[in-house]
Copies of this chain bind each other. A is one copy, B any other.
Amino acid sequence: MHELMHRLWPICRSITGEGVRETLSILAEKLPELKVHEVPTGTRCFDWIIPKEWHIRDAYVIGPEGNKIIDFSINNLHVVNYSTPIDMDISLDDLQANLHSLPEQPDAIPYVTSYYKETWGFCLSHETRMSLVAGNYHVHIDSELKSGSLSYGEIILPGKSEQEIFVSTYVCHPSMANNELSGPCVTAKLAEWLRTRDRRYSYRIIFVPETIGAICYLSKHLEHLKENVIAGYVITCVGDDRAWSFMPSRNGKTTGDNMARHVLKHMAPAFKEYSFLDRGSDERQYCSPGVDLPVSSIMRSKYVTYPEYHTSLDNLEFVTATGLEESYLVYQKLFESIETNCVPITTVLCEPKMSERGLRPTTGKLGSADSGRAMMNLLAYADGSNTLLEIAEIINEPVWELRKLADMLAEVQLLGIQ
């Protein structure tokens, strides 16, 4: 994953344009099911309209001494995303109105966008900004805003059931690592694993520009998604190893929410659950009134909460191989757990005579194996009103361990599994 991330790093993505296409084409190399869709500029998507495509070729500022003091080719955060073209001389005073920096993080270049208001601008570290001297500057942005399309990638992996697990990640930020590339990289590895797996549920995995891409996708597939999605996740900010975070769906109590909490409780018990009021990614669309999909999000350090967020410091050092790998494993366990969930129902009244089935020791001494106890607890709650997840929560065992016991019991006909 870290390798893929290095390859995607230098590409200047935005919500439209060649950066997204190049990103999707690299992802498609290992994911043959990935289809790229193009939605033309001007297409209406609910309250939104697909904007013009943005093309950026070069951007720089030349200082009074004739040097390039800001250069897009060094860091693509230097240009305000969706900047209109410009090429002119300008005094420092006038230039200041189009510069963006962070006085409180003087060594970081901020990430600034202006998708829907036509303007231009440059981002730079506050240190650099402070060092600028009065004089004549030259600004140059070789960009273009023209009719084109919005691009997104979609992978459909059919399962035994038409019910779907939905995964959404975004591909619209330029060189940022945790709040961007960690999402598509972990998602790609999950897709690689899922495509070779025997699947109970179908999987729908999309790589979209944030906000406009999610809205565009919903506008085309809302009815289908509402009918089929049983759980969904926005995969973002899954690359560092500082924290574990959970953003519930607006509903907060769907099976998808509860399974995510369950997996985190057993695999990363120190995770922090945020309020839906702290939302910030595409759950804003997926959980909006009338859409109401069961979409939540397991993250590492959540967007907005870490100081490197939306700056040049959210880079390949902040994200670690361990962070990515752990996130992958947690989502893998999450999907396995959803697949393994079921409604177990006992087949006999009263406790069964376990000793005859070779499932536990026959001498009734003090102290019994934990697995024996868990097995009896599973039977005690398998009354058809509880899912395996609900039983796992009652008896405080991981659902994946409990499923093994359920399968043992099913094998000796003590449990029916629905």
Contacts and interface: CB of A to CB of B under 8 A. Distances in A.
Interface of A: 45-48, 100, 102, 110, 112-117, 211, 214-215, 218-219, 222, 250, 276-277, 279, 284-285, 287-292, 304, 309-310, 345-346, 348-353, 355-356, 362-366, 376-377, 379-384, 394-395
B380 A47 contact: no
6 contacts: A46-B348, A211-B351, A215-B350, A218-B349, A250-B381, A304-B366
Contacts of A366: 102, 110, 304, 309-310
A353 B113 CA distance: 15
Contact of A349 (B46, B115, B310): B46
Contact of A350 (B112, B288, B377, B380): B288
* Highest count of chain B CB atoms <10 Å: which of A48, A310, A349: A349
A362 B290 contact: no
A350 B100 contact: no
Nearest to A49: B353
B348 A47 contact: yes
B349 A222 contact: yes
Given A117-B363, A363-B114, A364-B112, A47 B353 contact: yes
- Pairs A-B, 5 closest by C-beta atoms: A289-B383, A117-B362, A47-B348, A47-B352, A215-B350
Contact of A353 (B116, B284, B310): B116
Given A112-B364, A277-B394, 10 more contacts: A45-B350, A46-B349, A48-B350, A112-B363, A114-B363, A277-B377, A291-B350, A304-B366, A309-B366, A310-B366
Contacts of A110: 365-366
A203 to B, nearest CB: 23
Nearest to A115: B364
A45 B48 CA distance: 64
A376 B211 CA distance: 14
A222 B380 CA distance: 17
Given A289-B345, A362-B117, A351 B284 contact: yes
Q: Could you tell me the dominant secondary structure of chain A's interface residues?
A: loop
Nearest to A362: B117
Contacts of A379: 288-289
B288 A218 contact: no
Contacts of A350: 45-48, 214-215, 218-219, 285, 288, 291
Contacts of A45: 350
Contacts of A349: 46-47, 218-219, 222, 288-291
Given A112-B364, A363-B114, A364-B113, A290 B355 contact: no
B380 A117 contact: no
A291 B351 CA distance: 10
Given A114-B362, A277-B377, A365-B110, A351 B292 contact: no
A22 to B, nearest CB: 23
Nearest to A367: B304
A41 to B, nearest CB: 15
Contacts of A114: 362-364
Nearest to A279: B380
Nearest to A344: B289
A289 B115 contact: no
A276 B381 CA distance: 10
Given A46-B349, A350-B47, A384 B116 contact: no
A288 to B, nearest CB: 5
Contact of A290 (B47, B215, B383): B383
Contact of A48 (B218, B285, B353): B353
B380 A287 contact: yes
A226 to B, nearest CB: 11
Contacts of A304: 366
A290 B222 contact: no
